[in-house]
Amino acid sequence: MAGQEQVENSMALEFLSLPENVGLARVAVATFAAQVDMTLNELEEIKVAVSEAVSNAIIHGYEGKPRGTVRVTAEHTAAGLVITVTDQGRGIQDVALAMQPAYSTDPERMGLGFAFMQSFMDEVEVTSEVNRGTTVRMLKVLKKAGAE
């Protein structure tokens, strides 16, 4: 991911691992992201990526139990919008395998969360430690006015 960029603005949100908090995170980050010049399409992509990352934390990290905390941060930097979703759940044994499209530890899930994040964001980094949690860090590059 891009180097340590100077933070121009930031927000942090922490909540219990309840499914109804996915929408809270999605709307909070989208509202924060809208402070800079972004298209509606870019905002929708950010909302989907945040929803997927938070859902993964709740469903996989905490196994759907409201026993943990999910932390979401967003930062406006010169590189763009950096979003980080962190949990202290069960972690991921094999991050590379987990990021493969259609892979899921839950047979009732499609396993497309990371694929959506990678498709909609410019960079996605996942770090995880078994029984200690997972951090998903995503970057959305901000297009300069007039640049295509």
5 is catalytic: no
* Cα–chain center distance at 73: 9
Name the β-bridge partners of 41: none
Task: Provide the sign of the torsion angle of the four alpha carbons 94, 95, 96, 101, taken in this order.
Answer: positive
Catalytic position from the list 42, 56, 75, 137: 56
Give the DSSP letter string of the chain: ----PPEEEEEEEEEES-TTHHHHHHHHHHHHHTTS---HHHHHHHHHHHHHHHHHIIIIISTT-TTSEEEEEEEEESSEEEEEEEE-SS--S-HHHHTSTT--SSTTS---HHHHHHHHSSEEEEEEETTTEEEEEEEEEPPPTT--
Known catalytic residue at 56: yes
| Catalytic site residue from 5, 63, 109, 123 | 109
Catalytic residue, candidates 42, 45, 52, 75 = 52
Does 123 qualify as catalytic in the annotation?
Answer: no
Residues with catalytic function: 52, 56, 109
